Structure 1
Amino acid sequence: MLYKEIHIGKFIKERVDENEIPMERICKFLGKDEESVENMYKSRSLDADLLLRWSKLLEYDFFRLYSSHLILYAPPAAVNKSQHKSEKIPYFRKNIYTQEIKDFIMKRILSGEMTQSEVIKEYSIPKSTLHRWLQKTDNTNG
């Protein structure tokens, strides 16, 4: 379950290993010593500024792991007409699914790991949206 439990240090370490980034370069870029970097690999979470630096160094959007988690596991917001959008912070629609999310969901259905109704219930994906994804999958495979 890629998005359910996020251990950011493990993901960072995996990306470092894949790209074969030397420790010396990491330490210099982050302004940290080797011990601090090794401790980051063991950390379940990191400060946002530090995670941003890792994202730049490794050319990977680690924040997207958290966004994907919110899309899949956060309960849908209650519809309340009295709530208004803040003019001071950006507003993001929750119902925008990335291709990674679509692939993740489709893989679970096509492998038989979950049924369509289980996906709809677990991830609060509208039935019509899921059917649209399945139709596109059928059209590309058939």
Structure 2
Amino acid sequence: MLYKEIHIGKFIKERVIEKEIAIERICNFLNKDEDFVEAIYTSKSVDTDLLLRWCKLLEYDFFRLYSSHLILYAPPSAVNKNANKSEKIPYFRKNIYTQEIKEFIIKRILSGEMTQSEVIREYSIPKSTLHRWLQKSDDTNE
């Protein structure tokens, strides 16, 4: 799965289909009409409060799609990381790499699309972390 372009409405619709949730239940839960729900399915973006309600209804963390995008396509700068810490909002010390991200990166290396050095440089993944992923990947493939 590629995280570069996120069309959240398509993901929401797909999850509704997977969970086989009736439109009436969705409308009642969101306190909206069917036209509104159909409009969400075609929306590239959704208000965060509304997205949180969808997450609860569909039992799926749609925000992880955006976190994955940030990890892959907007890695934090290695320069002076502590200078931007805020006392008013939470600061997250580590990147959380989901299994999907790990598989995505390993697949790019194994296919020859990227070298290990390119992955480390492009995504700011520590060398030891990448080697651990590759080692675990080799262990599971044997």
Q: Is this a same-fold pair by TM over 0.5?
A: yes
CA 1:36 to 1:5, structure 2 compared with 1: closer, same or farther past 3 Å? same
Comparing 126-135 with 44-53, greater Cα deviation is found at: 126-135
Counterpart in the other structure of 2:66:
66
The CA distance in 2 between the partners of 1:111 and 1:17, in whole Å, is 32
The ranges of structure 1 where at least 4 consecutive aligned residues each deviate by more than 4 angstroms after the TM superposition are none
Q: Secondary structure at the match of 1:83?
A: helix
Q: Which amino acid aligns with 1:68?
A: S
The one-character-per-residue Cα deviations of 1:35-84 (angstroms, maximum 9, x if unpaired) are 00000000000000000000000000000000000000004224227715
Query: Comparing 125-134 with 76-85, which one deviates more in the overlay?
Result: 76-85
Output the amino acid matched with 2:124: S
Structure 2 matches for 1:1-142, cutoff 5 A? 1-80=1-80, 83=83, 85-142=85-142
Residues in 1 aligned to 2:107 and 2:15: alpha-carbon distance in whole angstroms:
23
Output the CA distance in 2 between the equivalents of 1:95 and 1:81. Answer: 13
What is the letter of the counterpart of residue 64 of structure 1?
Answer: R
- Name the CA distance, whole Å, in 2 between partners of 1:140 and 1:97: 18
TM-score (norm 1): 0.88
Change (3 A) 1:82 1:91: closer
Q: Pick which of 121-130 and 38-47 moved more.
A: 121-130
SS of 2:83's partner is coil
Distance of 1:82 and 1:4 partners within structure 2? 27
Gaps of 5+ in 2: none
Gap change, CA 1:48 and 1:82, over 3 Å in 2: closer
* Equivalent residue pairs, number: 142
User: Residues 137 and 21 (structure 1 numbering): CA distance in 2 closer, same or farther, change over 3 Å?
Assistant: same
Q: Aligned partners of 2:85, 2:76: CA distance in 1, in Å?
A: 16
Query: Aligned AA for 1:63?
Result: F
- Whole-angstrom CA distance in 2 between matches of 1:24 and 1:39: 15
Unaligned runs of 5+ residues in structure 1 are: none
Q: Name the TM-score, length of structure 2 as normaliser.
A: 0.88
Identity of aligned residues (%): 82
CA contact (8 A) 1:71 1:94 kept: no
